[in-house]
Amino acid sequence: AHLERIQAVDGSVRAFLYVDADGARETARAQDRWTPKERQEHPLSGVPVALKDNIVTRTMPTTAGSKILGRFISPYDATVVDKLHAAGAIVIGKTNLDEFAMGSSTEHSAFGSTFNPWDLTRVPGGSSGGSAAAVAARMVPVALGSDTGGSIRQPASYTGVVGFKPTYGRVSRYGLIAFASSLDQIGPMTRSVGDARRVFEAIQGYDRQDSTSLQSGAWAPEGTSGPWRIGIPKEYFGEGLDPVVRQLVEAHLEGLAQQGHQLVEISLPHSVYAIAAYYLIAPAEASSNLSRYDGVRYGMRASGHDLLSMYETTRDEGFGDEVKRRVLLGTHALSAGYYDQYYLTAQKVRTRIREDFERAFSIVDYIVTPTTPDRAFRLGEKSDDLIRMYLGDIYTVTANLAGIPGISIPLGLGEGLPVGVQWLAPTLADEALLGAVRAVE
C-alpha cells in the first residue's frame, strides 16, 4: 500500500531520492512467513521506514543531497539501520535533504526541491524535508531525520507531523554523514508521539562505534502524568513571531493550564546570541568534516592537471553554493588570529546557553515554545535573503547547543498551513518528555 502511495503522489511531492521497492517487497514477503512469536520479538515488523539520505546504507546509494558523493555505496549500514532491521522494520527508501543537511527548506539539495504536501508551492522545511513530506503525504508512517539545529523539528512543524530530537548521544551517529559532530543527532519523524516513542526505543542505546554515544542513556520509564510546572521563555514570544503561530501556541498553553499544569514565565537570556553562536560552530565543524571530500576517497572526481587542481575542481564542481559558503565561514572562524574572536567566543556563548537551561530546569519540568517563528514559506521566498533563512532557526538551535531533547508536535492548521509547538526537557529526560507530550497530544 505504501509503495502504491509513493507511486501515486511522489511525482508531485518529490520526497524520495531512492525507493527500493523490490527489496521492501521481498522483506515483507519473508516476514509474512513469520510465526506469531517472531512477530512479537520484532516490535517494528512490517513497518515501512524511510531514511534521510545522509544515513548510510549498504544496499542503497547514499548522496547526502550532494553531487560530490557520485554513485557512492557505503560498505556498511549505519547503526540505526542495523537497529531498525533488528526490530523488523522495512527500510523502503532514502529521502531528499539540503546538501549535507545544511539548510531549512530542502531547496539546497543538488537533486531539486521537495514540495510541501499541504501546498506544493511551498517548502517542506529542512533539512529533513524529504522525510517530513514522506510522512505528511502518508507515503511512510515513519522516517528518520537528523537534527543539527532544528532539521527534524522545523520540517515536522511545517508539514504537520511529529519530529523528535533526542538528547545528544542517545542515538548513535555511526553512519550518519557528519555535518557538525557536536550537534548532530538522529531522530524519528512520525504521525503520532506514540510512534515516535516506539521508533526511539528501537534506535537508541549505547554504541561503541560512536565515541560520543552515552553509556548512561539506558531506557527509562516514562515518568509521571503531572501536573507539571511548564516554563514559558519570554524570549521565544517576542518580535518576529507570526501572529497565526502565536495564537495557536497560546491556545495550546491555555489548554495546558486548564488541565491543571502550572505555567511559569522564565527567561533564557542568552538565547538572543544562539543564532550567531550556532552559525559559527556548525560551519566550523562542517569545514573540518567536509575536508574528506577530496576526489580521492569518495565518489566524484574531476580531472585536473595535478593533485591540487584535481582537489580544487572536484570541490568546486561537487559542492553547491550553500556548502561552499559554510566551508568558507567555518575555515575563517577557525583560522589563526580569528579563532579567539569567533570560534572560542561562540563556545563560551554555548556554555551560557546550556547554563540558562540548567537554571530553568531547576524550577520547571518542561519548556514550551513555538517550533518556528513562521509557517511553511514559498519556494524561493528566502533564497536571496540567507540571513532571514538562518533566523528561522531561532527557536530550535538552542536545544542542539545545550544537547537537550526537543520535540515538535502538530497543533493543527493556521490559515491552511500546519503549525507546530516545541517541548523541551532536561538532558536524558527523553522518555519523560515523550510520555508528557503523549498525554497532551
Q: Interface with ligand GLN by CB under 6 A: which residues? A: 101-104, 127, 147-151, 179, 282, 393
Residues pairing with 367 in the sheet? 231, 424
Rounded distance, CA 184 to CA 168, Å? 8
- Indicate which residue of 66, 128, 151, 271 is catalytic: 151
CB 61 within 8 A of CB 94: yes
| 225 is an active site residue | no
| 216 is an active site residue | no
Spell out the residues 6+ positions from residue 40 whose beta carbon is closer than 8 angstroms to its own. none
Rounded distance, CA 232 to CA 242, Å? 17
Shortest approach of ligand GLN to residue 408 CB, angstroms? 12
- Cα dihedral across residues 355, 357, 360, 362: positive or negative: negative
Shortest approach of ligand GLN to residue 393 CB, angstroms? 5
* Closer by beta carbon to ligand GLN, 329 or else 432: 329
* Closer by beta carbon to ligand GLN, 177 or else 417: 177
- Indicate which residue of 127, 131, 213, 408 is catalytic: 127
| 113 is an active site residue | no
Rounded distance, CA 436 to CA 441, Å? 9
Q: Closest Cα to residue 169, out of 134, 241, 218?
A: 218
* Closer by beta carbon to ligand GLN, 19 or else 68: 68
Shortest approach of ligand GLN to residue 282 CB, angstroms? 5
* Closer by beta carbon to ligand GLN, 20 or else 147: 147
Shortest approach of ligand GLN to residue 100 CB, angstroms? 8
Rounded distance, CA 287 to CA 68, Å? 15
Shortest approach of ligand GLN to residue 320 CB, angstroms? 13
Rounded distance, CA 299 to CA 285, Å? 22
Cell 531522530 belongs to residue: 187
Beta strands 48-52; 417-424: pairing state: unpaired
* Closer by beta carbon to ligand GLN, 114 or else 127: 127
Q: How many CA atoms lie within 13 A of 349 on its CB side?
A: 23
Rounded distance, CA 364 to CA 371, Å? 19
* Closer by beta carbon to ligand GLN, 167 or else 314: 167
DSSP letter for each residue of 193-215: HHHHHHHHHHHBS--TT-TT--S
Q: How many CA atoms lie within 13 A of 119 on its CB side?
A: 16
Q: How many CA atoms lie within 13 A of 431 on its CB side?
A: 12
Shortest approach of ligand GLN to residue 22 CB, angstroms? 31
Catalytic residue numbers read 52, 127, 151
